[in-house]
A and B are shown apart, each in its own frame.
Chain A
Amino acid sequence: MTNDEIRAFIENAIQENRVMLFMKGTPNQPACGFSARAAGALNALGVQYAALDILPDPRIREELSGVSGWPTIPQLFVDGELVGGSDIVIEMFESGELAELLDVEQPQAPAAEDPQPEPPRRPLGLENRLG
């Protein structure tokens, strides 16, 4: 897979999925605390989202940061636009702004501290195409 193909895959994923999370690891097995918190916030809101593990190939992260202009992982996109990294996602989750953005009800007891990750309903598998 060429860098251009990876970039095209990323851009397509951002356009095709209303809620798109790029993370280290998967929602079931996050490989970094920051990614775990971002996925946990989405899980707590019960929204459907797509997640892509950036770890299988270092070029995924390079191309993603080239597309977004954002240096760190995770990165959350909604409606094709970068919402932010884990700090912004958690801040917006706690303030209720994220629920508003995603048209869902804010849970009664925000539980971002110890999220129980649930699998996203539409996992993506870029790693499968990189062999």
Chain B
Amino acid sequence: MPSANELKERIEQALPGAHVSVDDLTGGGDHFRAEVVSDRFEGLSRIQQHKLIYDVFGAEVGGPIHALSIKTSTPGDGR
């Protein structure tokens, strides 16, 4: 069962320099919320930004990771 910390580390590995926080929403290891701030998102649409995160986990999303809620922003967004 994946942990919030494991998800955080994997996102950080995929997007070096990103600021990542991951919460386990239910404590059950299957519903997560990830907030990611990365300059890699610069110039990308929201869909492309979220896909970058989904791609880290591939088929695990919808499998062991039932739900992964995502909020993305760039350092320049100031939010």
Does B47 contact A84, Cβ atoms closer than 8 Å?
Answer: yes
Max chain B C-beta neighbours (<10 A), residue from A65, A69, A87: A87
Closest residue of chain B to A65 (Cβ to Cβ) is B62
Does B62 contact A72, Cβ atoms closer than 8 Å?
Answer: yes
How far apart sit A91 and B69, CA to CA, in the bound complex (Å)? 12
User: Chain B residues with Cβ under 8 A from A69's Cβ?
Assistant: 51
Is A43 among interface residues, defined by CB-CB distance under 8 A? no
Does B47 contact A88, Cβ atoms closer than 8 Å?
Answer: yes
Interface size class of A (residues with CB under 8 A): 10 to 19
In A53-110, which residues have CB < 8 Å from any B CB? 61, 65, 69-72, 82-88, 91-92
How far apart sit A85 and B59, CA to CA, in the bound complex (Å)? 16
Query: Which of these, A72, A82, A84, contacts B68 with CB under 8 Å?
Result: A72
Closest residue of chain A to B58 (Cβ to Cβ) is A71
How far apart sit A59 and B71, CA to CA, in the bound complex (Å)? 28
Query: Which of these, A61, A65, A87, contacts B70 with CB under 8 Å?
Result: A87
Taking beta carbons and an 8 Å cutoff, which residues of B are in contact with A? 46-47, 50-51, 54, 59, 61-62, 67-71
7 additional contacts, CB 8 Å, given A84-B47, A88-B50? Answer: A70-B47, A71-B61, A72-B68, A87-B69, A88-B47, A91-B46, A92-B46
6 contacts between A and B (CB under 8 A): A72-B54, A72-B68, A84-B47, A87-B69, A88-B47, A92-B46
